[in-house]
Amino acid sequence: MGELSAVAVLVLGLLHEQPMHPYQMHQNLVERGDARLVRISLGAVYHGVERLERDGLVGVVGTDRTGNRPERTTYRITETGQAAFARRLTSFLGDDHPTYPLFSVGLAEATDLPRDVVTAQLERRRAREAGRLADLESAYERIRAQGLPRRYVLDVEHDLHLMRAELAWLDGALAEIRDGSFLWGEPIPAAFVEAYRAARRHAPQAEADDLTAAL
């Protein structure tokens, strides 16, 4: 049994509440907005449940049919599943799980593009993220007004904090690009190149490697 995927953890989280069938799981994940956390499809949920059953982490409660609809199998989480869920969830919270956002790569190489192109793309990104922030703020305020305790929406609060921080950074960066503070298009200062080379000549190898990695 390999490590549980994010979808598998979300599925086990639902079954931690009560037994349900995969279609109901998918509906719940969509309604709760978990599609913003991971890519969720009905097929991914069914595939995830099949793997969880194969690994003994969930078990079949029963199968039923309503009207002309296909049969639906209801699952429950097993004791083994409870332990695996807690272990993986604990890892998600405290362990290091590096991600490599493409936006960061774009920023790293942004100076290779004309200033007006970079400005236009950052403005486009800002408009999109501002819209997403407004939607998430609205959903958060609505569900909190309905009485849902904060402990159930910590992920939303975290996302809101990150989104607000990114918008603030974008506003600052765009202002400096527009007013010329970044001196766009000019070469790397000769003084920096000399200082960097001197650091590599005199620093211990480990420090030089760290400096190279940082750049």
pLDDT for 207 equals 54
pLDDT at 74 over 70: yes
Structure tokens at 133: 């922030």
pLDDT at 71 over 90: no
pLDDT for 170 equals 98
pLDDT for 211 equals 47
Q: Which of these ranges, 57-71, 151-165, 183-197, has the smallest mean pLDDT? A: 57-71
pLDDT in tens, 90-128: 999 999 998 889 999 999 999 999 999 999 999 999 999
The long-range contacts involving 121-127, CB below 8 angstroms and separated by at least 24 positions, are 122/170, 122/173, 122/174, 122/177, 123/174, 125/170, 126/167, 126/170, 126/171, 126/174
Q: Using CA atoms, how far apart are residues 76 and 83, in angstroms rounded to an integer?
A: 14
Give 116's strand partners.
none
Q: What are the C-alpha distances in Å from 103 to residues 114, 121, 164?
A: 17, 11, 16
Q: What are the C-alpha distances in Å from 63 to residues 4, 71, 77, 108?
A: 25, 6, 16, 53
Q: Using CA atoms, how far apart are residues 76 and 85, in angstroms rounded to an integer?
A: 13
Q: What are the C-alpha distances in Å from 26 to residues 30, 34, 62?
A: 6, 10, 18
pLDDT for 21 equals 93
Instruction: State the pTM of this model.
Output: 0.81
pLDDT: which is higher, 33 or 82: 82
Structure tokens at 187: 């070469």
Place of tokens 């362990």: 95
Q: Which of these ranges, 102-106, 128-132, 160-164, 195-199, has the smallest mean pLDDT? A: 195-199
Any idea what DSSP says for residue 20? B
